[in-house]
Amino acid sequence: MELFIFGLNEPEKICGSRDDPDDVCEWTGVKCNAGGEVEELHWICKTENGTGTLGFEFLPWSMKTLRIFMNALSGTIELADLPGKIEVVYLYDNQMTGSLNLDRLPATVRTLNLSENKYTGDISLEHLPKCLEYLSLADNQLSGTICLTALSPAFESMYLDKNNFEGSLDFTRLPKSMRYIQLSENRFSGTIDLGNLPESMHILYVEKNALSGTVRVPPGLMVILYGNDELTVERIE
């Protein structure tokens, strides 16, 4: 754990002393369970003072929640190095770069928010953890196509807006639990079919893309589609 925080700016503000750290369960932003095992780390809102890099391999195996957001972290991350019990990861609003291998996420991850960084490259959504409910990769520089037909069965919310994704969109085999999808401000093209959405689906944002053809919007569904100049929208009463 010391090696992990030594990658952050001013680690002594977390552990008390770099040379003689306090007991880890007394560190600022750390929460332990009754057995003295580290389960949570919170290091947030340091803005420009929150510099450093992240070495997930130095996190304790017992870690379940990692919240390091609204800082100025840089460098790359290896999602495969996250602890095997991790459930919640918030790393949004930093300056991290590199690619994201989502196929290597630990099977326990339920929430992953890596939005507002500078990640690049394509992503795979076909082999995500089966318990994943929330994914946000919004406002990065990701590209390539995405597959929505093999998502995790527990999925509820997905944010992929403000990237450079392209290709077609297939909404016909979404998980039955899906409620919210945000895909605006990308380069998606082609026609879309909203006739087989799950009953749980409430909100779909696909504005400012390059969709075309005619789409029929079911009643009771909020769908935002403006900014697709070649798309005709028909709302079913």
Q: What is the pLDDT of residues 51-91, one digit of tens each?
A: 999 999 999 999 999 999 999 999 999 999 999 999 999 99
Q: How confident is the model at residue 47 (pLDDT cuts 50, 70, 90)?
A: confident
Mean predicted confidence (pLDDT) in 99-119: 98
Structural domain of 75: 2-164+176-185
The total number of structural domains in the chain stands at 1
What is the pTM assigned to this prediction? 0.95
Residue 186 has pLDDT above 90, yes or no: yes
Buried b vs exposed e over 104-136: b needs ≥16 C-beta within 10 Å?
A: ebbebbbbbbbbbbebeeebebeebbeebbbbb
Whether pLDDT at 222 is above 90: yes
pLDDT at residue 127, rounded to an integer: 97
- Quickly count: other Cβ atoms within 10 Å of residue 84's Cβ: 10
Average pLDDT in the chain: 96
DSSP-derived letter for residue 52 is B
Q: What is the CATH number of the domain that holds 11?
A: 3.80.10.10
Decide if 130 is inside a domain. yes
pLDDT at 50 over 90: no
Residue at 98 is within a domain: yes
Looking at residues 104-127, what average pLDDT do you find? 98
Cβ-Cβ contacts under 8 Å for 48 (sequence gap 6 or more)? 72
Residue 202 belongs to some domain of the structure = no
